[in-house]
Amino acid sequence: MIPMPVASTNQLRVGVEKYPLLQLHFHAPSEHTLKGKAFPLEIHFVNAADNGKLAVVGVLVKEGATNAEFQKILDNAPLLEGTNTPPDMLVFPWRLLPADRTHFYNYAGSLTTPPCTEGVGWHVLSQPIEVSQTQITQFEALYNDNARHTQALMVVL
Ligand SMILES: [Zn+2]
């Protein structure tokens, strides 16, 4: 799906490194699994440091309460590929983050869409957020099956 533009004041801090938020986008179903379990949706917050280094925060989404911020995105989602979201729509990224932002899975990976650039720092939060089943259905009607299939775990000895 088309990445949502976000205000440049949002950023991820990893230690002393700062990664301003570039864009966020969604996948259905999730690209990451927890204990082998996939989630209906996953949000990727793509952040880039001044030196070009990328860090992505992954937020898993499960069925539960309605999320007002996600509804705003759904209501403004472009219906045609290649069209942009209305420029006056302001997304507040932190409203799409779980309360617990201190527990996450961290690994060095790649972008999951072409060109699948490597050297990307992944931070997948262990606490999912909730959106309603109606919202999941609404999203799937717009964009379905846009997730990269899970990759085999690789162990380097
Ligand atoms: Zn993604």
Distance from residue 44's CA to the centre of ligand 1 (Å): 5
Residues 6+ apart with CB under 8 A from 20: 8, 10, 11, 47, 48, 49
pLDDT of residue 142: 83
- Examine the pLDDT at 51 and tell me if it is beyond 50: yes
Distance from residue 156's CA to the centre of ligand 1 (Å): 25
Distance from residue 111's CA to the centre of ligand 1 (Å): 7
Q: Report the percentage of the chain scoring pLDDT > 70.
A: 81
Q: State the pLDDT confidence band at 151, using cuts at 50, 70 and 90.
A: low
Distance from residue 17's CA to the centre of ligand 1 (Å): 22
Distance from residue 143's CA to the centre of ligand 1 (Å): 13
Distance from residue 81's CA to the centre of ligand 1 (Å): 17
- pLDDT tens digit sequence for 25-37: 899 999 999 989 9
Diameter of the chain by CA atoms? 50
Superfamily of domain 4-142: Alpha carbonic anhydrase (3.10.200.10)
Q: How many CB atoms lie within 10 A of CB 125?
A: 21
Q: 0.75 cut: is pTM over it?
A: yes
